[in-house]
Amino acid sequence: MANPNFLIVAFAGQSHINPAFQLAGRLLRTGASVTFTTTTTAHRSMSGIQASDRLTFATYSDGAEEGPKLSNFSLEQHMEDSARRCSEAVRQIIEASRGKGENFTCIFYTAVAPWVGEVARCYDIPSGVLWIQPATLFEIYYYYINGYGDSITNESNDPSSPTQLPGLPPLTGRDVPTFLTPGSPFRFLFTLIEKEIQSLKGDRKARLLVNSFDALESEQLNAIDELKMVAVGPLLPSLEGRGSSGASPGGDLFLGSRDYIEWLDTQPAASVVYISFGSISALSKPQKEEMARGLLSTGRPFLWVIKKALIMDGGDGDGKQEESEDQLSCMEELQKQGMIVPWCSQVEVLSHPSVGCFVTHCGWNSTLESVVCGVPMVAFPLWADQLANAMLIQDVWKVGVRVSGNERGVVEGEELTRCLEMVLGGGERSEGMRGNAKRLKDAAREAGKEGGCADKNLKALLEELVSG
Ligand code: UDP
């Protein structure tokens, strides 16, 4: 029998490329061949990653080479365009492989991209969705579609009637993913998720892989009888084995100076507050000013990522895009106390011994990276899945504290100081969080090590695929 041969299709975002490339690594370790597909621009940024006899890159253009389109940008239109370009590319890759007398054993793709599953079905090739959010989110969406829609929507409006789903604490409006909020401009993203879930249910050959691990979400991973979730996480870049450039083996879309590592080296153990809001979200100017006030009032050293890039303001959910170039009023004082950078190698920062707390927007990759590095968090969710992830951090795993906004939705400096002191200030709760973080870190490393749960689960799935 020919060696298993997989196609991986990754959406061109940092939070897709990272886990998809780690999945590629795991598949290569089993002796299989992998064709990795993403956009030309995203691939160009995956510096330091070489093709080999079993790893091939096949890229396609999504038009991003022409530069960011700030005026009249519509995410919905962009997604439609990407879907068309991506489907065509996947078709051509399959045709080319067939032309050589080869066939893909399975096509894995990062969710949400139901169009890739459709192409796979056209060619009768099994497909596997790589869900890049926690199992908890898949569970919430699944139950929303299957009988709990009204309950979840109502509870967004009425916090006194929380929804109870298997293995989760009662869900209140502040935990519900914003794609489900009635009138959300991102409702079309939920429509894609719904399509994905329906086709998973209707396709016997389709598989659902989740970037999580059993010890982290044991009940949620088993919360749906008709759809088996296979935990293949944590899919994170190895903490070892970085090149001298610091480039993440997962492919860092933004590389730059690494002075911050030298600065971290000079700070006391577990003292630094690391602040980042992921690759696409950013804070409004007033929110940044409050963040600065909170940081100055703690007096603690910090490393703060403020991107100068195309961002989406998730705070008020209107999806507008802007360039974040605001100058903060207290820049001089801030620079005396900490460091502000436009981007950093996050896993390397989180695994640095001087980092004691992560103020995070609770994107799933960031959350998982903090868990794997054993760093307690201040959960500062903005939108989408981040709200439910914040609930996991504070209420389920108890490895952090969630901020509360004022009546205008702004998290004030005093609130940030309060949360930072709860995490870093010592005392019973702070020690408890640190202990829980340490336990999850050990469990994550056990699951992700060579031959651990993730490898075993993937191996079982591959055996199923190969035996048809
Ligand atoms: N990231 C990074 N450096 C930064 C900010 C983010 O390497 O300065 C990486 C981070 O490690 C994570 C990804 O970007 O892997 C962000 O993914 P996440 O799911 O947390 O958030 P999203 O960008 O999708 O909102």
CA of 280 to the centre of ligand 1 (A): 8
Distance, in Å, from the CA atom of 337 to the CA atom of 298, rounded to the nearest integer, reads: 10
User: For residue 401, what pLDDT is reported?
Assistant: 98
**Ligand 1 atom having least distance to the Cα of 236:** 15
Supply the residue whose CA is at minimum distance from atom 6 of ligand 1. Answer: 278
CA of 427 to the centre of ligand 1 (A): 31
Token couple for 438: 């340490």
**Is 157 in contact with 133 (CB distance < 8 Å)?**
no
CA of 278 to the centre of ligand 1 (A): 4
Cβ-proximal residues to 65 (8 Å cutoff; 6+ apart), any chain: 40, 41
Reported CATH class of domain 5-238+450-467: alpha beta
Counting Cα atoms < 13 Å in the Cβ hemisphere of 300 gives 30
First to last CA, the chain: 12
The pLDDT of 309-324, averaged and rounded, is 44
The pLDDT of 91-119, averaged and rounded, is 96
CA-based R_g, the chain, Å: 22
Indicate the top mutation candidate among 366, 373, 375 to test ligand 1's pocket, ranked by most ligand atoms within 8 A of CB: 366
Between the CA of residue 248 and those of 21, 23, 404, what are the distances in Å? Answer: 11, 15, 33
Reported CATH class of domain 255-446: alpha beta
Break the chain into its structural domains and give their ranges. 5-238+450-467, 255-446
Cβ-proximal residues to 226 (8 Å cutoff; 6+ apart), any chain: 201
**Is 384 in contact with 177 (CB distance < 8 Å)?**
yes
**Ligand 1 atom having least distance to the Cα of 276:** 5
Q: For residue 419, is pLDDT > 70?
A: yes
Q: For residue 93, is pLDDT > 50?
A: yes
User: For residue 467, what pLDDT is reported?
Assistant: 85
Distance, in Å, from the CA atom of 111 to the CA atom of 192, rounded to the nearest integer, reads: 9
User: Does the annotation count 16 as an active-site position?
Assistant: yes
User: For residue 260, what pLDDT is reported?
Assistant: 96
> Quick check: do 5-238+450-467 and 255-446 share a fold?
yes
**Ligand 1 atom having least distance to the Cα of 341:** 8
Counting Cα atoms < 13 Å in the Cβ hemisphere of 400 gives 27
Q: What is the pLDDT of residues 122-178, one digit of tens each?
A: 999 999 999 999 999 999 999 999 999 988 887 666 667 789 999 999 998 899 999
| Pocket around ligand 1 at a 6 A CB cut-off | 14-15, 18, 252, 276, 278-281, 305, 343-347, 363-366, 369
The residue from 16, 43, 352, 361 that is catalytic is 16
